[in-house]
Amino acid sequence: MAKLQSGSELIFRVAIALPVYRLFDYLAPYNIEMTAIKPGIRLEVPFGNAKKIAFLVECVQHSNIDISKLKRVERILDEKPLLSTKDLALLHWASRYYHHPLGEVFSAAFPVALRQGKSAVIQTEKRYALTELGKALASEQLKRSPKQKSVLEKFQAHPNSLSEAELSAWNQNWRSAVKQLMDKQLLQLVAAAPGINSREPIIRNSALHCNPQQQAAIDVVSDSLGQFGVFLLEGVTGSGKTEVYMQIIRTVLERGQQVLVLLPEITLTPQLEERFRQRFTVSIAISHSKLTDRQRTRAWLNLQSGECSILLGTRSALFTPLKKPGLIILDEEHDASFKQQEGFRFSARDVAVVRAKLLNIPVLLGSATPALESLHNVDNKRYRLLHLPERAGNATAPVLQLLDIRNKRMQEGLSEALVAEMRKTLAKNEQVLLFLNRRGFAPTLICHGCGWVARCRRCDANLVIHQDEGILRCHHCGQEQRLIRQCPACRTGELTPLGLGTERVEKVLAELFADKTIVRLDRDSTQRKGALENYLQRINQGEVDIILGTQMLAKGHHFPNVTLVAILDVDSGLFSIDFHAPEKLAQMIVQVSGRAGRAEKPGRVIMQTRQPEHPLLTTLISQGYSCFARTALAERKDASLPPFSYQALLRVQAADAEMPKLFLDAVVKLAQEHSKGHTHILGPVAAPMARRAGFYRYQLLFQSSKRPELHALLDVLMPKIEKLKQANKVRWSLDVDPVDLY
């Protein structure tokens, strides 16, 4: 760009994180060197009475707004853009594809501190390592100060150094103990771990000897480094996917490139981090929402500058800039948490594929239960399937069984046959895992006298009984009230809990298995920081006999001594109105069963059901997930449902009961004017939960057999929707490729 001529004003067109589609024009700052001005730099601009951070989109000569009305950019925050041209292109693509305002998309790509305009300079952090003395000391000698002992053990488990951030991610209270250990000359300050430019060896301990299927997968992906390609690694739990990842990562690191690894769950990062640190000497960064802003900013900048070679993170880490990108891995690619469910509703899997294409690198998607979309992409040759059909090492696959509980005596959800099986397993000193995807004591409180039910005042939902806390709580809006003893309607009837939650099952387990140790893992029992880690540790050390939990258990955790898994109520998943439900149920069953018999001991999975002939269950058990997936895909095809068609869901809510429908009626009218033959406009209909947190909710579904046509319609429609006269009276959001129709 040329130096600014006096007389003509140059205009900065910027994106600001606001829920509006338009961009904003500002006058360029005085006296700037235009050669240094590149799209993507952060700016500070006056906005109303405040200042806001903006992202430069382009410099233009003309504005549609009278130049005398334009305000001037106050400050330029970056000398050069923090994101590469390709990553900027990715954000533009995502904004267009998800029909989400560019400013908010930009904002999502940056850590909070940088969004707020803080400086993008890394504060150097201290690193600590053991001294010779510290390496030799038996940690038992510190047993009188447990904190120092645990810090020493942490270092002894990590023979190289640990940074402040890594220590904080492990345990927030490390500082005083580290200082005391330094005073005792057991720890010392050291220089940083090697980044991508280092010549240090990359591998610490050697890789496992792979079986032929693993080796084939490693070879295929390794041969494709340096070019775009999507690989779907389908392998049952324990088939050695992580080992495959690590051996490919090694090759990427040897090429001097970086790897981005995305996981569905924060709680899974420590396990994988541990395995990676055992294997690699390079610097590894972690990024997820439980870290502080400072920690996340540092991880982001360390990847951007090349200080770190591997980033392990959740969905939001997807946009982290990489100095030398080599590979993106998404583990458990089927997991719904890769889809952001509020605000900028992107699919981390789909955006990762687009990002890899722009960067010209491969993406590796791994799962025991691939998403139907991904299998469909294998069928139409967009993804390449790599298969690990067997468990690695000596582990054998668990046996799945249905337990018909029709007309059987049940005690709080446990059949006598199941209890007997549990006793047998426990007698062998093996662990039992029970899965029930409902927390709380019971989902409903009902009056035995008059039928009154405790409802949430703000939602179309029942209040859930939380007996331990003595409250009734709405799981949709969080509203709470004291657990009542008397029916407010008839004042005489007895209030009875209806249905089962984990709390209730825990109580009956404590009676039936009085001499056993039981642990309940759900969102309520693991709220306290460190609680989950503590439970997992106790389980792995064999201190726990029975593990009871919700979907938290379905993901990734290794419980090597569990040999019996029981799904207490598989039927509740069979009757959802959402067409995604069978897929999610099948994935859940297979994932939960993956927890059984991971080591040498074979595992069993028992599913209690009143639908023993249900085709989903029988197909899954007799023919496995792949067969189930084939059948489910055929059904989707017959019904013209995704992935054989494309959807976008417009959700609307308002405090006023009429407004959402009025608004959507107006949208339908607009849409019909612009729609071509292949796009169906379904609705408006009341949302499955028609009222939530006091808001009335409606939705409108767009579905098309042709993706470009759907998007062409949304392209014209969305900016017009924003200007409808009802638009200010409702809150609305568009969900492209929704995974949940609620």
Residue 53 has which token pair? 């951070």
Distances (CA, A) of 594 to 359, 398, 598, 631: 34, 7, 7, 22
Query: What residue 583 binds from Zn ion, ligand ADP, none (CB within 5 to 8 A, per partner kind)?
Result: none
Q: Least CB distance from residue 561 to ligand ADP, whole Å?
A: 14
* Interaction between residue 211 and ligand ADP (CB under 6 A): yes
Query: What residue 113 binds from Zn ion, ligand ADP, none (CB within 5 to 8 A, per partner kind)?
Result: none
Task: Please check if 456 is assigned to a binding site.
Answer: yes
| Residue of 73, 210, 230, 664 interacting with ligand ADP (CB under 6 A) | 210
Q: Least CB distance from residue 170 to Zn ion, whole Å?
A: 37
For residue 564, the surrounding DSSP H or E stretch is strand 562-567
Q: Is residue 191 classed exposed, middle or buried when 0-12, 13-18 and 19+ CB atoms within 10 A define those classes?
A: exposed
3-state helix, strand, coil in the chain (%, to 5): 35, 25, 40
Q: Least CB distance from residue 449 to Zn ion, whole Å?
A: 4
Task: Please check if 308 is assigned to a binding site.
Answer: no
Q: Least CB distance from residue 439 to Zn ion, whole Å?
A: 15
Among the listed ranges 308-316, 481-489, 676-684, 733-741, the one in contact with Zn ion (CB under 5 A) is: 481-489
Q: Binders of ligand ADP: how many residues, by CB under 6 A?
A: 15
Amino acid at 310: I
Q: Which residues contact 117 (CB under 8 A, 6 or more apart)?
A: 42, 44, 53, 77
Q: Are 607 and 570 in contact (CB under 8 A)?
A: yes
Whose Cβ is closer to Zn ion: residue 602's or residue 694's?
694
Query: What residue 392 binds from ligand ADP, Zn ion, none (CB within 5 to 8 A, per partner kind)?
Result: ligand ADP
Q: Least CB distance from residue 257 to ligand ADP, whole Å?
A: 22
d(CA 56, CA 103): 10
Query: What residue 237 binds from ligand ADP, Zn ion, none (CB within 5 to 8 A, per partner kind)?
Result: ligand ADP
Query: What residue 264 binds from Zn ion, ligand ADP, none (CB within 5 to 8 A, per partner kind)?
Result: none
Task: Please check if 477 is assigned to a binding site.
Answer: yes
Amino acid at 616: L
As beta bridge partners, residue 442 has 465
| Residue of 241, 376, 557, 697 interacting with ligand ADP (CB under 6 A) | 241
Task: Please check if 450 is assigned to a binding site.
Answer: yes
| Residue of 23, 225, 477, 668 interacting with Zn ion (CB under 5 A) | 477
Give me the sign of the Cα torsion angle 586, 592, 594, 596. negative
* Interaction between residue 270 and ligand ADP (CB under 6 A): no
Q: Least CB distance from residue 444 to Zn ion, whole Å?
A: 14
Q: Least CB distance from residue 497 to Zn ion, whole Å?
A: 14
d(CA 459, CA 463): 9
288-297 — which CB contacts under 8 Å span 24+ positions?
288/313, 288/314, 288/316, 288/317, 289/314, 289/316, 290/266, 291/168, 291/169, 292/168, 293/111, 293/112, 293/113, 294/113, 295/165, 295/168, 295/169, 296/111, 296/112, 297/111, 297/112, 297/113, 297/114, 297/118
Chain center to CA of 266: 8
Q: Least CB distance from residue 226 to ligand ADP, whole Å?
A: 25
Q: Are 128 and 190 in contact (CB under 8 A)?
A: yes
* Interaction between residue 239 and ligand ADP (CB under 6 A): yes
The footprint of Zn ion on residues 411-450 (CB under 5 A) is: 447, 449-450
For residue 636, the surrounding DSSP H or E stretch is helix 615-638
* Interaction between residue 208 and ligand ADP (CB under 6 A): yes
Whose Cβ is closer to Zn ion: residue 38's or residue 458's?
458
Q: Is 167 helix (H, G, I), strand (E, B) or coil?
A: helix
Residue 59 has which token pair? 């410099």
Query: What residue 688 binds from ligand ADP, Zn ion, none (CB within 5 to 8 A, per partner kind)?
Result: none
Q: Least CB distance from residue 697 to Zn ion, whole Å?
A: 12
* Interaction between residue 498 and Zn ion (CB under 5 A): no
Q: Are 459 and 691 in contact (CB under 8 A)?
A: yes
Q: Least CB distance from residue 138 to ligand ADP, whole Å?
A: 28
Whose Cβ is closer to ligand ADP: residue 173's or residue 215's?
215
Left, alpha or beta for 419 (phi > 0: left; psi -120 to 50: alpha)?
alpha
Query: What residue 235 binds from ligand ADP, Zn ion, none (CB within 5 to 8 A, per partner kind)?
Result: ligand ADP
d(CA 536, CA 592): 16
* Interaction between residue 288 and ligand ADP (CB under 6 A): no
| Residue of 39, 195, 238, 660 interacting with ligand ADP (CB under 6 A) | 238
Query: What residue 738 binds from ligand ADP, Zn ion, none (CB within 5 to 8 A, per partner kind)?
Result: none
| Residue of 189, 208, 490, 685 interacting with Zn ion (CB under 5 A) | 490
d(CA 148, CA 132): 17
| Residue of 163, 224, 237, 645 interacting with ligand ADP (CB under 6 A) | 237
* Interaction between residue 655 and Zn ion (CB under 5 A): no
| Residue of 148, 163, 224, 242 interacting with ligand ADP (CB under 6 A) | 242
Whose Cβ is closer to ligand ADP: residue 242's or residue 525's?
242
Q: Are 127 and 155 in contact (CB under 8 A)?
A: no
The phi, psi pair for 203, rounded to 5°, reads: -95, 135
Q: Are 553 and 433 in contact (CB under 8 A)?
A: yes
Whose Cβ is closer to ligand ADP: residue 584's or residue 598's?
598
Whose Cβ is closer to ligand ADP: residue 358's or residue 592's?
592
Pairing of strands 362-367, 325-331: parallel
* Interaction between residue 240 and ligand ADP (CB under 6 A): yes
Whose Cβ is closer to ligand ADP: residue 105's or residue 392's?
392
| Residue of 148, 214, 347, 431 interacting with ligand ADP (CB under 6 A) | 214
d(CA 413, CA 409): 9
Q: What is the DSSP secondary-structure string of 103-125?
A: HHHHHHHS-HHHHTT----PPP-
Query: What residue 456 binds from ligand ADP, Zn ion, none (CB within 5 to 8 A, per partner kind)?
Result: Zn ion
d(CA 344, CA 94): 9
Amino acid at 588: M
* Interaction between residue 36 and Zn ion (CB under 5 A): no
Among the listed ranges 122-130, 241-249, 301-309, 447-455, the one in contact with ligand ADP (CB under 6 A) is: 241-249
* Interaction between residue 452 and Zn ion (CB under 5 A): yes
Q: Are 103 and 15 in contact (CB under 8 A)?
A: yes
Query: What residue 489 binds from ligand ADP, Zn ion, none (CB within 5 to 8 A, per partner kind)?
Result: Zn ion
* Interaction between residue 161 and ligand ADP (CB under 6 A): no
d(CA 625, CA 670): 43
Residues in binding site for Zn(2+): 447, 450, 456, 459, 474, 477, 487, 490
Applying CB under 5 A, the residues found at the interface with Zn ion are: 447, 449-450, 452, 456, 458-459, 474, 476-477, 479, 487, 489-490, 493
By CB under 6 A, name the binding residues for ligand ADP: 208-211, 214, 235, 237-243, 392-393
* Annotated binding-site ranges: 447, 450, 456, 459, 474, 477, 487, 490
